[in-house]
Structure 1
Amino acid sequence: MTWIAGYLVLGAVAGFFAGLLGVGGGAIMVPVLALMFAAQGFADAQVMHLALGTSMAAIVFSSISSLRAHHRHGAVRWPIVRSIAPGILIGTFLGAQLASLIPTRPLAIFFTVFMSYVALQMLANIKPKPSRQLPGPVGMFLVGSGIGAISALAAIGGGSLSVPFMVWCNVRMHEAIGTSAAIGFPIALAGTAGYLFGGWSATDLPTWSIGYIYLPALAACVMMSMLTAPWGAKVAHRLPVATLKKIFAALILLLLAKMLHGLL
């Protein structure tokens, strides 16, 4: 019951920040789940994969709640979602299959390096050229494939990549966050399928696991994240852009440092 309570708290926090920042919540769930699974004595070789797979499955539900809230605020640019979704689906599924073949420590290092880059980019607050626009259909497909593949490897909803990309192309920050919440849904679907099949024949998995998805943690996280994601989305539309970026970067760097300390 202690662990279930921990999962409930984690789900509440991840759901709030999923709505606030459009990041799906994986950036928060992965490092915390990895620490909790290791503390429960799960096999070292499977800890990171279980954290990634469970996080990706939880994002399926939190992204639905988050995108509905942002859509009510008129912040989702659906033409962008439609143009980037095909590449997202292909890249995410292939990335999840690749992740199942990589050992825990290299996977943790990749997650840390990538997310640190994203956080520092946000802190730097780099301004795009005023003339820069979103690419055409082919460019959006390639960008979507890259976002999907990296999102699957790091088990994030894509917001850590899609938000900076859209802001770089002069999409307003609040619209980038809302659109990213919608993009997170196809990423989560394809990524969950990839981790499910990738871990189907894995050994040393804990009881109540399906592939690399640990069901008790998934159920508890989803229950709370569905409740708190709309609250986070509501707060997002009341905060200035600079504040959103600083919250995002600080939270990511803090969790990464804690995860590395625990795993390495």
Structure 2
Amino acid sequence: MSLLLIWVAAYLVLGAFTGFFAGMLGIGGGLVMVPALTLMFAAQTQFPSGEILHMALGTSMASIIFTAVASLRTHHSHGAVMWNIFKVITPGILLGTAIGTLFAASVPARPLAIFFTFFVCLVAVQMALNLKPKAARDLPGTMGVAAVGFGIGALSSVVAIGGGALTVPFLTWCNVRVQHAIGTSAAVGLPIAVGGTLGYVFNGWHQPGLPQGSLGFVYLPALVILVAASMVTAPYGASLAHRLPVATLKRIFAAILILLAAKMVWSLFSTP
């Protein structure tokens, strides 16, 4: 098997895995995709070492656009998307993603990797212990929801996630039924992904030394393969979210997150 076919197969497997869990857990898939892509890009000579993490972040964010669409359609068919919340939270999200991608593009890879790993570990612990905020209040007003959207958009774009790790806990804390929180999170992931992708394309547009096939910090050859696989599996994950208890799968997913993030940091810090 040629080296090219090996990388195609690796991207297909990664896309299928992240698409399935994105649909099931209401996340964008970036928590797995970023460390995995970082390791894959680091093993390929055409990627400049100083921009590997930025390329992984940008490519992951672009893939979330398509994953979010596939997941959103399934959750909408189950009546689980609260469009009234989506309309209020989206303006804040778009502003937050614009600022977040600008920040991420200006930070060197190693400090950014430490921040990403810290965030991943927090999410993994929350998933492994199945911690849920106590539903204690109603949603805040329009300005409050928009402000929360700004924070979710900014942090999500920095670590290239669809926002589910933040949106789902926030909505459940505000007494939103968990299935509706996951479905609405899938919808919220779309403007995060669109805004974040535009930011990574813009900030990497004139960056020298990027591999052929790059659109800013988005590596198109990998993106096409990742999307093809994730679009197939995301609807299956979204359907299962409405039928299966996911606590055990969350623990498995959390363990994978920690291992991948640790390996990513090790690879970035072990190179000169």
TM-score, normalised via structure 1 length:
0.95
How is 1:99-118 mapped onto 2 (pairs within 5 angstroms)?
99-118=104-123
Name the structure 1 match of 2:11: 7
In the alignment of these two chains, the number of paired residues is: 264
Q: Distance in 2 between matches of 1:127 and 1:153?
A: 24
For the pair 1:170 / 2:168, whether they are aligned, the reply is no
Name the structure 2 match of 1:157: 162
AA matched with 1:168: W
How is 1:86-125 mapped onto 2 (pairs within 5 angstroms)?
86-125=91-130
AA matched with 2:113: A
Name the structure 1 match of 2:190: 185
Q: 1:45 aligns with which of 43, 50, 53?
A: 50
TM-superposed CA distance for 1:128, in Å, is 3.5
Name the structure 2 match of 1:23: 27
How is 1:69-80 mapped onto 2 (pairs within 5 angstroms)?
69-80=74-85
For the pair 1:210 / 2:203, whether they are aligned, the reply is no
Q: 2:240 aligns with which of 235, 239, 246?
A: 235
TM-superposed CA distance for 1:168, in Å, is 2.0
Q: Distance in 1 between matches of 2:233 and 2:174?
A: 30
Identical pairs, percent: 60
AA matched with 1:26: G
TM-superposed CA distance for 1:6, in Å, is 1.0
Q: 1:219 aligns with which of 215, 224, 227?
A: 224
Q: Distance in 1 between matches of 2:158 and 2:137?
A: 29
Q: 1:170 to 1:126 in 2, by over 3 A?
A: farther
For the pair 1:147 / 2:152, whether they are aligned, the reply is yes
Q: 1:189 to 1:208 in 2, by over 3 A?
A: same
Q: 1:117 to 1:27 in 2, by over 3 A?
A: same
- Structure 1, 239-248 or 149-158: larger mean CA deviation: 239-248
Which digits, 9 at most, give the CA deviation of each residue in 1:30-52, with x for residues without a partner?
01000000000221110000000
Which digits, 9 at most, give the CA deviation of each residue in 1:208-230, with x for residues without a partner?
10100001000000111111100
TM-superposed CA distance for 1:241, in Å, is 5.2
Q: Distance in 1 between matches of 2:252 and 2:246?
A: 10
Q: Distance in 1 between matches of 2:127 and 2:231?
A: 26
AA matched with 2:31: A
Contact 1:174 1:241 in 2 (8 A): no
Contact 2:99 2:154 in 1 (8 A): yes
Contact 1:29 1:55 in 2 (8 A): yes
TM-superposed CA distance for 1:259, in Å, is 1.9
Contact 1:152 1:191 in 2 (8 A): yes
Gaps of 5+ in 1: none
Q: Distance in 2 between matches of 1:247 and 1:82?
A: 34
CA RMSD of aligned residues (A): 1.5
Q: Distance in 2 between matches of 1:125 and 1:208?
A: 40
Contact 1:46 1:204 in 2 (8 A): no
SS in 1 for 2:106: coil
Contact 1:53 1:213 in 2 (8 A): yes
